[in-house]
Amino acid sequence: MVGYKQISCAVMLMILSGVAVAQNNTNSPYTRYGYGDLSPQTFGKSKGMGGVAYGLRDSYQVNAVNPASYTMVDSLTFLFDAGLSLQNTNLSDGKTKKNAGNSSFDYVAMQFRLHRRLGMTLGLLPYSNVGYSFTATDTSDPSNISYKTYSGEGGFHQAFLGVGFKVLKNLSIGVNASYFWGDITRQDHVGFAEYQKYETWRVNNVSVKDFKFDIGLQYTQKINKKNEVTIGAVFSPKRNLNNDAYLRTQTAMSTGNASSPYTDYNVETTDLYTKYGLPMSIGVGAAYIYDKHLTLAADYTYQNWADVKYQGENNFYDMQKIAVGLEYMPNQFGRSYLSLIKYRIGAYYSTPYYKVYKMENNERKHYRASNEYGVTVGFGLPLPRTRSVLSISAQYVNVSGKQVMLDEKYMRLCIGVTFNERWFFKRKVD
């Protein structure tokens, strides 16, 4: 039976990993800039608590944000954790509105203990998503109407292997080593409403394959029998990324013939030898636990994007995020199912990392694109007759474009399931 479960989970991990890479969970024009929309690295519990994670330690669910938390897994437990999101997006520029829907896998991981002081986790997470398509039309000259179409797709992913080591009774450290890869392709198309006009396409592609590391620490201090506090921190060093990039320019004459719409093709491809990088990132947080019923947590994240090279230039702002969250379980030994549910709520505020460029008085100026805030509510639902948990959370996210671009509002439903099995024990037969 144990072998069957192990094989089943391994197969599920491989299948979901392939699906996760193929999915793209965004329709945001903001993803035209930089690496696109940065994906939350949080799992089911954290998603319902506003994204807090640095100080959370839970033997029933995985917390991949801070690898020091892996030491919480007990010697008999094998965890398999997977999650997906369903998202509805409303876009508005003050004049027109658009609605879009997406779905994608958020994470997949498995966790187990190697030694009484050593826990291990491996899995796959998205790092960023790019997905947009919009058209701008220039009608200033009625005899020569032109249009520009901007589109992009792709993203970066990370397959990670992490270990957490308990140095002292109250102190744990950990590290995630990730294989980091992905492709982002962007295309600009300029065309004309009249036939017999030249049209141009510019395709920019970057492909990345490299490694990244995250180092975590957690210290737990018991105040008394019912109260304890955990302080956590995570550090990720700045690094340049190995990449292959090219720019392809194509021009063609529009013929107006449906069977052969273009002629006189001219294609030029140039390899780009330029720098792409990831920022130095620091996160600190704390979690207060009362009598194993109530958890209060707060996080602060700082990412030094301003020093990162993108296409050889500094094109970003530093990013900051503040998050708070709460989880409450009425009675872990209660007989009522409602008393065993974990009720979660949270909120966060963040500033973006990418710059938006805008022409003003024939001068190209850049602005911080938007500010983002979100509120979350969720539940941890125990599955009957098991130690497994179904995590469901709803998130409302508002991205304020100010006078620069669009306002975006998201309603996101996150569903995660953590299979918690007692595998590593010997059965005795009389």
Residue 358 confidence (pLDDT):
67
Rounded distance, CA 186 to CA 154, Å? 9
Q: What's the chain look like in SS3?
A: CHHHHHHHHHHHHHHHHHHHHHCCCCCCHHHHCCCCEECCCCCHHHHCCCCCCCCCCCCCCCCCCCHHHHHHCCCCEEEEEEEEEEEEEEEECCCCEEEEEEEEEEEEEEEEEEECCEEEEEEEEEEEEEEEEEEEEECCCHHHCEEEEEEEEEEEEEEEEEEEEECCCCEEEEEEEEEEEEEEEEEEEEEECCCCCEEEEEEEEEEEEEEEEEEEEEEEEECCCCEEEEEEEEEECCEEECEEEEEEEEEEEECCCCCCCEEEEEEEEEEECCCEEECCEEEEEEEEEECCCEEEEEEEEEECHHHCCECCECCECCEEEEEEEEEECCCCCCCCHHHHCEEEEEEEEECCCEEEEEEECCEEEEEECCEEEEEEEEEEEECCCCCCEEEEEEEEEEEECCCCCCEEEEEEEEEEEEEEEECCCCCCCC
Q: Give the least confident one: 47-56, 77-86, 173-182, 419-428.
A: 419-428
Of residues 300 and 113, the one with the higher pLDDT is 300
Torsions phi, psi for 325 (to 5 deg)? -155, 160
Rounded distance, CA 381 to CA 340, Å? 8
Torsion of CA 114, 119, 123, 125, to 10 degrees: -170
Rounded distance, CA 72 to CA 59, Å? 5
User: Rounded mean pLDDT of 201-223?
Assistant: 94
Winning range, highest mean pLDDT, from 301-310, 334-343, 360-369: 301-310
Rounded distance, CA 261 to CA 254, Å? 6
What is the widest separation between alpha-carbon atoms in the chain? 93
Rounded distance, CA 6 to CA 412, Å? 32
In this prediction, residue 208 has a pLDDT band, given cuts at 50, 70 and 90, of very high
Summarised one tens digit per residue, pLDDT across range 51-74 is 999 999 998 889 999 999 999 988
Rounded distance, CA 98 to CA 197, Å? 31
Do residues 177 and 161 lie in contact, with contact meaning Cβ atoms separated by under 8 Å? Answer: yes
Rounded distance, CA 287 to CA 302, Å? 19
Residue 140 confidence (pLDDT):
64
Average pLDDT over the chain reads: 84
Summarised one tens digit per residue, pLDDT across range 277-301 is 999 999 999 999 999 899 999 999 9
Residue 272 confidence (pLDDT):
85
Give the rounded distance of the alpha carbon of 244 from its chain centre. 23
Rounded distance, CA 330 to CA 91, Å? 39
Residue 108 confidence (pLDDT):
92
Summarised one tens digit per residue, pLDDT across range 154-190 is 999 999 999 999 999 999 999 999 999 999 999 988 8
Check pLDDT > 60 for residue 22.
no
Q: Is the pTM of this model over 0.85?
A: yes
In this prediction, residue 2 has a pLDDT band, given cuts at 50, 70 and 90, of very low
Identify which of 100, 75, 105 has the alpha carbon closest to the alpha carbon of residue 90: 100
Give bridge partners of residue 88 from the DSSP assignment.
101, 411
Distance of CA 423 to CAs 202, 262, 381, Å? 54, 63, 22
Q: Give the least confident one: 99-103, 206-210, 287-291.
A: 99-103
